[in-house]
A and B are shown apart, each in its own frame.
Chain A
Amino acid sequence: MRRLLALVHREFWENKGAFRTTPLVIGGIYIVFLLMSIFTTAHFDNELYTFREAVRLLAEQPVEFRAAHAEEVMLGTSLFFTLVLAFVVFFYLLGALYDDRKDRSILFWKSLPASDALTIASKLLSAMVLAPLIFWLVFVLTQIVMGIIASVMVLSVGENPWTLFLSIVNPLRAWFTLLVSYLAASIWFLPIYGWLLLVSAFAPRIPLLFAVLPPVVFAILQIWIDFLRTFTLDSSLFGVIGEWVANSPAILTAQVHDGRGTLALGAPLTDDFDHAVTLANIFDRLFSMQMLVGLAVAAVFLTGALWLRRRATDS
């Protein structure tokens, strides 16, 4: 356990830029944009008249309406974080078992008494828990700062931020939901993470190419053969992967539903699952047949990655 944590710490040191600086930059962008929009409003809006009216109108809305929207706005802010997190994790895993082979430092790491299974576990743990946790923490931090700025603005036009939104929205619930969805998505995407680690352990060069090309070629062949046989363009590996992403338990899309904007888990392309953002729906996916199949696929990929890593040296 001590060794595993040491290895995870090592991953953090190596990927500080991706794991820590990146979410901080996103948080910074949100805050800068918020401040810019405030200055723009203040510049054109005569003595903040329109803003004052807007706040007054909002204050007249029923509590339930304000609470629901406040939570949506809070979770909505996470979309950018989530998207970038997905990119960060993708490229992190792609390089995880490749970079040290390329720069030959694998010879140093293998001179330490840490097994290859432990090394792979540390990479997975960094991708599944460490990176999401840091992104989530910075997200929460960003929300607190934004909440303070918004409260000051509301105060400045003579309304009470406490009764307007602070007392009715439960930020802890939104934050907790997001954290659970991050961790659930980590499990959901294990087959893809496993594939990336396998490629990372295998690729002699340009792991991105090896990660993307085989599934693309496979899917195109599949589509072509299907087309020849049945003259249809039905299911293919693309469809499977697309559906997998669409069904993920991460909050991924904002859409208009029943005349109002809502957030959804994944992207509601199919009705296999209920896409409303609730803890029950998140867990529903983790205890599904699909997840079980996904875990089996992940186990195959990870076993392959371990087999390759055991034999990997610098040449």
Chain B
Amino acid sequence: MTSIVSARGLTKRYGRTLAVDHIDLEIPPGRIVGLIGPNGAGKTSALKAILGLATYEGELSVLGKNPSRQRAALMEDVCFIADVAVLPRWIRVWQLIDVTERIHPRFSRARCLEYLGQTKVTLNHRVKQLSKGMVAQLHLALVMAIDVRLLVLDEPTLGLDILYRKQFYTSLLNDYFDEQRTILITTHQVEEVEHILTDLIFIKDGRIALEATMEAVEQRYTELMVKPDRAAEARELKPMFERELFGRHIFLYDNVGRDQLAGLGELHTPSVADLFVATMKRGES
């Protein structure tokens, strides 16, 4: 099957700064991809290019379309939530549903109302009367009622409390995701999405630092926890990152066989957050 997103040398400049620096990217259908990077790494710039919200250099094709020239047509098959605070504050819920239904050919009012029925949001509410969490629920209900092939979520749960965040991802996974759809997520709250991701992309200084499926990550990276007396031995095997926790040394290895490490201490699969820190710190020290 063809790629949902395909980029060759994707570049975004702001004056002299390269926010996105010649990125090559292929996102196949049916994946949940986490695009993870520190602040200012170029995540949002890359997403804006993909959504046709910004100009860019290089080749970019989303569902076979050119996003900068065919944004309107593209939006029939792509939907996005760019942070929780972007629904117009003046609008009433029924008006929002009405206008979306009339503009979007793939919107199902019935499904939207069904999702909304599970929340405290009523049709007569104005967006500005809703709490941040309710706005996120409303936006998610709208988006989940649209039958698109690519859903882009840029920090979708920023500023929400933990109950709303959990529920957000649970609904997304249970009620929305299937093999036909692709979801692209950026977030700082890595721990919350790591269990739902199928693919991982780390981005650092406008470049891709890591691009792998979760299975590949599990095979490739190993975390080793050793007592201080064996730390020197562990260091011999060239870990990519080392840290200390409660008197234990924790090492992260890239492509070092588990059998080689097993004798030294406890082995784990690293969490995405730890892997992220290690990847970002690598090359700096």
Q: Cα distance A105–B90 when bound, in Å? A: 10
Does A103 contact B89, Cβ atoms closer than 8 Å?
A: yes
Q: Cα distance A106–B51 when bound, in Å? A: 13
Q: Cα distance A65–B85 when bound, in Å? A: 62
Does B102 contact A14, Cβ atoms closer than 8 Å?
A: no
Residues of A within 8 A of B219 (CB): none
The smallest beta-carbon distance between B200 and chain A, in angstroms, is: 25
Q: Cα distance A116–B71 when bound, in Å? A: 9
Residue among B74, B75, B86, B89 with max Cβ neighbours from chain A (10 Å): B86
Interface window among B20-28, B76-84, B228-236:
B76-84
The smallest beta-carbon distance between A313 and chain B, in angstroms, is: 5
Does B72 contact A118, Cβ atoms closer than 8 Å?
A: yes
Residues of B within 8 A of A114 (CB): 72, 75, 103
Does A6 contact B90, Cβ atoms closer than 8 Å?
A: no
The smallest beta-carbon distance between B107 and chain A, in angstroms, is: 9
Is A10's CB within 8 Å of the partner chain B? Answer: yes
Is A113's CB within 8 Å of the partner chain B? Answer: yes
Is A13's CB within 8 Å of the partner chain B? Answer: yes
Is B66's CB within 8 Å of the partner chain A? Answer: no
Known: A113-B73, A115-B71. A10 touches B86 (CB 8 A): no
Q: Cα distance A228–B87 when bound, in Å? A: 54
The smallest beta-carbon distance between B238 and chain A, in angstroms, is: 42
Residues of A within 8 A of B91 (CB): 13-14
Known: A6-B102, A113-B104. A13 touches B72 (CB 8 A): no
Q: Cα distance A118–B71 when bound, in Å? A: 12
The total of chain A residues at the interface (CB under 8 A) is 29
Minimum CB distance partner of B95 in chain A: A13
Q: Cα distance A206–B90 when bound, in Å? A: 20
Q: Cα distance A24–B55 when bound, in Å? A: 45
Is A110's CB within 8 Å of the partner chain B? Answer: yes
Residue among B83, B89, B98, B102 with max Cβ neighbours from chain A (10 Å): B102
A168-205 interface mask toward B, CB cutoff 8 Å, 1 = contact, 0 = none?
00000000000000000000000000000000000000
Does B88 contact A103, Cβ atoms closer than 8 Å?
A: yes
Instruction: Find A115's partner among B48, B51, B72, B89 (CB 8 Å cutoff).
Output: B72
Minimum CB distance partner of A112 in chain B: B103
Residues of A within 8 A of B108 (CB): none
Known: A14-B88, A104-B86. A113 touches B103 (CB 8 A): yes
Does A313 contact B72, Cβ atoms closer than 8 Å?
A: no
Known: A103-B88, A111-B80, A113-B72. A6 touches B99 (CB 8 A): yes
The total of chain B residues at the interface (CB under 8 A) is 34
Residues of A within 8 A of B123 (CB): none
Is A100's CB within 8 Å of the partner chain B? Answer: yes
Minimum CB distance partner of B127 in chain A: A105
Known: A111-B79, A113-B103, A311-B55. A105 touches B95 (CB 8 A): no
The smallest beta-carbon distance between B168 and chain A, in angstroms, is: 17
Q: Cα distance A314–B105 when bound, in Å? A: 25
Residues of B within 8 A of A6 (CB): 98-99, 102-103
A252-296 interface mask toward B, CB cutoff 8 Å, 1 = contact, 0 = none?
000000000000000000000000000000000000000000000
Q: Cα distance A7–B103 when bound, in Å? A: 8
The smallest beta-carbon distance between B47 and chain A, in angstroms, is: 11
Does A110 contact B71, Cβ atoms closer than 8 Å?
A: yes
Does A10 contact B72, Cβ atoms closer than 8 Å?
A: no
Q: Cα distance A106–B72 when bound, in Å? A: 14
Does A105 contact B87, Cβ atoms closer than 8 Å?
A: yes
Minimum CB distance partner of A115 in chain B: B72
Known: A13-B91, A113-B76, A311-B55. A108 touches B86 (CB 8 A): yes
Instruction: Find B103's partner among A3, A13, A14 (CB 8 Å cutoff).
Output: A3
Does B104 contact A108, Cβ atoms closer than 8 Å?
A: no
Does B99 contact A10, Cβ atoms closer than 8 Å?
A: yes
Q: Cα distance A110–B88 when bound, in Å? A: 12
Residues of B within 8 A of A9 (CB): 98-99, 102
Is A107's CB within 8 Å of the partner chain B? Answer: yes
Residues of B within 8 A of A116 (CB): 71-72
Does B75 contact A108, Cβ atoms closer than 8 Å?
A: no
Is A2's CB within 8 Å of the partner chain B? Answer: yes
Q: A100-B88, A113-B104 are in contact. List 19 more A-B contacts (CB 8 A).
A: A2-B102, A3-B103, A5-B102, A6-B99, A9-B99, A9-B102, A13-B90, A103-B88, A107-B83, A109-B88, A111-B75, A112-B75, A112-B103, A113-B73, A113-B75, A114-B72, A114-B75, A114-B103, A314-B86
Considering the complex of A and B, which 6 residue pairs feature the smallest CB-CB distances, nearest first? A6-B102, A115-B72, A113-B75, A105-B88, A107-B86, A107-B82
A-side residues, CB < 8 A to B, are 2-3, 5-7, 9-10, 13-14, 100, 103-116, 118, 310-311, 313-314
B-side residues, CB < 8 A to A, are 48, 51-55, 71-76, 79-83, 85-92, 95, 98-100, 102-105, 139
